[in-house]
Amino acid sequence: MRRRKVVYPPAKTATRSDPAAGVDARAAAAASRIVSINLNAMTGRPGIKPGLRVQIATGLYAGEYAVVESVVGGVIPAAVVRTEAGRTRRVRTVDLTPAAASAQGGSPQGVEKAAPEPTEP
């Protein structure tokens, strides 16, 4: 009895028409992932101290006001801040701006609370 010849399916690479097209696709994908690095972040922002009220400029909590709890040194200086919502996070000091004097004692986004109405005895 004769043995049957083994038939293998064609390789997946056999369907490629032009190997240079794959190189172009990889280059395009790499170009879409380009990241810009802010070299000024290494210098940090002077004047950020614990207890200072600041506004977060970028990131998840962008635009929120927070209070600096501690400042962490390193290659890129950072600060641990507590937002008005009570959440803590670590933020680069370059992404913090000191809060304006009008927002220092106010509520979030400049909304002022109404004064309580006087009651008669």
Q: Are 65 and 53 in contact (CB under 8 A)?
A: yes
Could you say which DSSP state residue 111 is in? P
Q: Which domains does the chain have, with CATH numbers?
A: 41-104 (2.30.30.30)
Q: What is the pLDDT of residue 117?
A: 57
Helix, strand, coil percentages (3-state) for the chain, rounded to 5, are 25, 20, 50
Helix or strand or coil: residue 81? strand
Show the tokens assigned to 27. Answer: 């280059």
pLDDT values of the chain reduced to their tens digit, one per residue, 121 residues: 788 899 988 888 766 666 566 667 777 777 777 777 777 778 888 888 999 999 998 888 889 999 999 998 888 889 999 999 899 999 998 889 998 765 555 444 444 444 455 566 5
Q: What is the pLDDT of residue 17?
A: 63
